[in-house]
Amino acid sequence: MANEIVNQKPKFSVAIQSDTYKKLINNTLGDPDRAKRFIASITSAVATNPNLQECDSGSILSGALLGEALNLSPSPTLGHYYLVPYKNTKKGTTDAQFQLGWHGYYQLAIRSGQYKDLDVIEIREGEYLGRDKATGKQNFEFIENEEERLSKPIIGYLGYFELLNGYKKQIYMSKVEMEQHANTYSKAFNLADYQKLKAGQIPEKDMWKYSSYWYKDFDGMAFKTILRRLISKYGVMSIEMQDAYTKDMAILHENGDYEYVDNPQEEVKQTIEVEQPQEQKVSLDDIE
């Protein structure tokens, strides 16, 4: 029993206050004021999530430092990125998975300075008019009365952009397609359980079991999926966005490596042709 206690790593709230962590953060960020702000923000984010407090401290810090490098906030209110607890049954550990939010994708795209317009919106019943027989493009007509519009059920999601050079692109996925996408690519999501949740067939006391953001914020995850597909396939991706795109939905390890714990997204399989810079690896090997 004594050996187990000695070998246990400290909780994040303790580890983040250690001299080793503070030195690493200061050396990585290079600005004492920025380091203090970073420590305060990530400590607050972890403190508000009891499940995240059980995660390996190194995976939390690695994910948070990536978010900081991208100039994104861990605040759940802003929704730039999330650190999501993931139980690795094979390794017997709980790690923090780095997940970009749709607001994070939007921020990174706008910062590139290449987009004249970029947006994603839910499509309500009655707004989808089908495909144009001549061009094959989907047509939409939005309900003008906002109160009436919001009373209609969501049937799909539309994303579109216009670059400064005039190039335009849009993609659309129905709600059914999006549900199948989540069911296929997220190990933490089950479509049958999601349908039970919507129908109110799962007791409130059992809600803690459903940690995936597809359960908590399906529309937000759908927005992210649309933006991810739209920008990666047709848009302009800065080096910063390429790094975020590559490591999205991954667990970042102490040696700088990362692994996907969900089923690989179809977008990840594509090769990004633009040469990426050598990434700076943060070593946490000396942290207990």
DSSP string, the chain: -HHHHHHSPPPHHHHTTSHHHHHHHHHHH--HHHHHHHHHHHHHHHHT-TTGGGS-HHHHHHHHHHHHHTT----TTTTSEEEEEEEETTTTEEEEEEEE-HHHHHHHHHHTT-EEEEEEEEEETT-EEEE-TTT--EEE---S-HHHHHTSPEEEEEEEEEETTS-EEEEEEEHHHHHHHHHHH-TT--HHHHHHHHTT-S-GGGGGG--SHHHH-HHHHHHHHHHHHHHHHHS---HHHHHHHHHTTEEEPTTS-EEE-SPPPTTTTSPP-SPPPPPPPPP-TT--
The verdict on residue 2 lying in a domain is: no
The verdict on residue 82 lying in a domain is: yes
What is the pLDDT at residue 288?
31
What is the pLDDT at residue 248?
92
How many structural domains comprise the chain?
2
The verdict on residue 1 lying in a domain is: no
The verdict on residue 146 lying in a domain is: yes
What is the pLDDT at residue 149?
97
The verdict on residue 108 lying in a domain is: no
Q: How far is CA 74 from CA 20, 47, 49, 169, in A?
A: 22, 12, 12, 30
Tell whether 65 and 85 lie within a shared domain. yes
What is the pLDDT at residue 20?
84
Query: Average pLDDT per run of 10 along the chain, which is 288 residues long?
Result: 44 83 87 90 85 86 92 89 84 87 95 96 97 90 96 98 96 97 90 90 78 89 96 94 92 79 54 33 35
Tell whether 164 and 54 lie within a shared domain. no
What is the pLDDT at residue 254?
67
What is the pLDDT at residue 8?
52
Identify the domain containing residue 140 by its residue range: 113-236
What is the pLDDT at residue 169?
96
Tell whether 63 and 33 lie within a shared domain. yes
Alpha carbon 253 to chain centroid, angstroms: 17
Six-digit token string for 193: 């359980």
What is the pLDDT at residue 56?
86
Tell whether 119 and 232 lie within a shared domain. yes
Tell whether 117 and 230 lie within a shared domain. yes
The verdict on residue 3 lying in a domain is: no
